Amino acid sequence: MGTGGTGTGTEGAAGRGPGDDGGQGPGDGGGQEPAGPDGGGAAPPPGRRRRTRNRVLALTVLLVLVAVVAVVKYRDRDKGTPYVPPRAGQASILLTPDQAGSGLDLNTIRTDDGMAFGPDGSLYVLRTDLFRITPDRQVSRVWRAGAYATGGLAVLPDGTVAVGVRGGVLRIDAHGKASTLAGSPDPAPGKDPDGSGDGKDGDGKDGGGTDGGGTDGSGARDAAGGTGTAGSTAAATGFVGVARPLGTRPDGALVVQDSTAVWAARGGAATKVLDTPVAGAYLDDDTDTKAVRPTADAEGDAYFVPTADPGPGLARRITRVTPSGKATQVAVPRTIPGLPGGPGGLTVQSLAGDGADGVYVDAVAGDSSGSGSGLNAYVVHLHDGTASVVAHSRTAAHGLDCALRHPVGALDLPCALPNGMAYHDGRLALDGMVHYTLEVSVS
């Protein structure tokens, strides 16, 4: 043709031959890229496509992780910040329902059957079944009650747990194995239809050991009964009603209360300490719901409120029984700092030994004046004729939940005080009738 035309199908200059420098040879990186699959343009090279896919994948993974973190934070929103132990004079939430687990249902509104600390600082809670809360707040079920009606617990010097049941006291070892410690438990260990005391722990594993067979492990037959005079050794007919272990004496004896008396169980026998409470009063009757939880101090003195319906009046209500069987009313001052109106308007809910020779009292004072002040609850420490308020809450009503996320002053609690207590090494744990377990540092 007379003029230089463009090459067909190439982008090179007109008239260039195959050997020109501007042409694209086989394998040359220059020139035109292959057309895209839609024919509309050049497709990116494979390396670029891989980099793009990797970026998209990384972004997708990041978005998924962000979503997971958001879901976890939303789900755990009620768990609050990491637990911070209270300092002296402060209170913290020890457990919430979401943190409990292992079958410990804090959402069930009830008064637990007993609380006690072990030598290592673990808190044992008897809510029909026996649970252990370690110092780092790990919860495990130690023993399943099954057919037993439970009524109190105490931790023994060797770390095993004494649990009161109808007619007797069981010893529960670390594996959840139950044996008879005192009296005649009904049913006998290993004989109940639900399998309690069969050596199975909370996970159903074999805890080992053998049934106590009505002995204390040394071969001596445990004895307890509902008749006799102070200082007598009862026949092995069992306690009257549900036995309630209160604590141990310095000599190792276990202080036990039943529906008629206070006992000291040791070495395969139970000796009656007090047969008839002072002033014709009586110990709380054999019912599932107890008006006031009794206790014992480190000296082995037993404390109880000697009526099933205690009513108001702290000063007249608490009886102390020494190991020798002497019963007196606990001295309470007429006025107590931080307690408007004095102790006369308080209704006692529970008692807890103070680790020495005093007692903590959990009590409430309702708004009987109509002033709208709401419900006031107190923990009062009684010791050698003195009294001091160590915790106080004021609420419009008995609320079930508490939104505390950090320690607060124990005298200005915005949440209801639980109605059961246990003391150990300068701190109180409170549980019962709310959806949380509270910890108060008293020293």
pLDDT at 385: 92
The answer to whether 184 and 167 are in contact (CB under 8 A) is: yes
Q: In degrees to the nearest 10, what's the CA dihedral of 390, 394, 400, 405?
A: -70
Phi, psi angle pair for 434, to nearest 5°: -140, 175
Residue with tokens 């067909």: 8
Cβ-based neighbours of 253, under 8 Å, separated by 6 or more: 264, 265, 266, 300, 323
On the CB side of 271, CA atoms within 13 Å amount to 11
Question: Which of the 8 DSSP states describes residue 438?
Answer: E
Residue 235's H or E segment, with its range, is none
21, exposed or middle or buried, with CB in 10 Å at 0-12, 13-18, 19+? exposed
Evaluate the CA torsion angle 317, 115, 167, 323 in order and state its sign: negative
Question: Which of the 8 DSSP states describes residue 309?
Answer: S
Distance CA 192, CA 166 (A): 13
The two three-digit tokens of residue 163, written as one number: 């649990």
Short-list 247, 184, 175, CA closest to 205 = 175
32, exposed or middle or buried, with CB in 10 Å at 0-12, 13-18, 19+? exposed
pLDDT at 260: 85
Paired strand residues for 427: 424, 441
Digits of tens for pLDDT over the chain (443 positions)?
444 444 444 444 444 444 444 444 444 444 444 454 455 556 666 667 777 777 778 788 788 777 665 554 544 444 444 689 999 999 999 988 777 766 677 666 667 789 999 999 999 999 889 999 999 999 999 999 999 999 899 999 999 999 999 999 999 999 999 999 999 999 988 776 555 544 444 443 433 333 333 333 332 323 333 334 455 554 455 798 899 999 999 999 999 998 889 999 998 789 999 975 544 344 544 444 445 889 999 999 999 887 655 566 776 678 899 999 999 989 999 999 999 988 988 888 899 999 999 999 999 986 544 444 578 999 999 999 999 999 999 988 767 889 888 999 999 999 999 999 999 999 999 998 888 999 999 98
**Residues found in the chain:** 443
266: how many CB neighbours lie within 10 A of its CB? 18
pLDDT at 158: 93
